[in-house]
Amino acid sequence: MAGAQAETAVYLCTGCPLGCRLEVDAVDGDVIEVRGHTCKRGERYGRQEYLDPRRPLSTTVWVRGAQVARLPVRSAEAVPRDRLVEVAEALRGVCVEAPVQRGQVVLSDVAGTGVDIVATRSLQPAG
């Protein structure tokens, strides 16, 4: 093994619309310090972004029997960034029946990520 590998990664925090510029110091893959954040969530974001970047996912699934064709859904927690497209693909064939309640689980453990997909809108049966 060579000596300790130190690096500084720079990210723009996506935790809120403020968009703080974060600097994450790491040695041998361990986060030593996060700088540039203006809140606790920002520090957590910087650490997470270096170790295992994740994003919340919002998409839609088919809904039958409602006034609209699509039901908006989101991941109950963030999913690995590099699996966003795969998770969206796994949801493409899903169809639910109205009525739907906001917060209702539409699919558990989507694509083996351990993350549930929940409805973000209540829909009554049409007519």
- Contact residues toward another protein (CB under 8 A) are 11-17, 19, 55-60, 62, 67-70, 72, 74, 81, 84-85, 88-89, 92, 102, 120-122, 124
Task: For residues 58 and 20, give the distance between their C-alpha atoms in angstroms, rounded to a whole number.
Answer: 23
Which residue is it, tokens 């041998």? Answer: 28
Cβ 20 to another protein shortest distance, Å: 9
SS3 content of the chain, % helix, strand, coil (to 5): 20, 40, 45
Which residue, 65 or 72, is less far from another protein as judged by CB? 72
SS3 94: coil
How far is Cα of residue 77 from the mean position of the Cα atoms in its chain?
6
Q: Which is nearer to another protein, 12 or 27 (CB)?
A: 12
Work out how close the CB of 3 gets to another protein at its nearest, in angstroms, rounded to a whole number: 31
Choice between 5 and 38, CB closer to another protein: 38
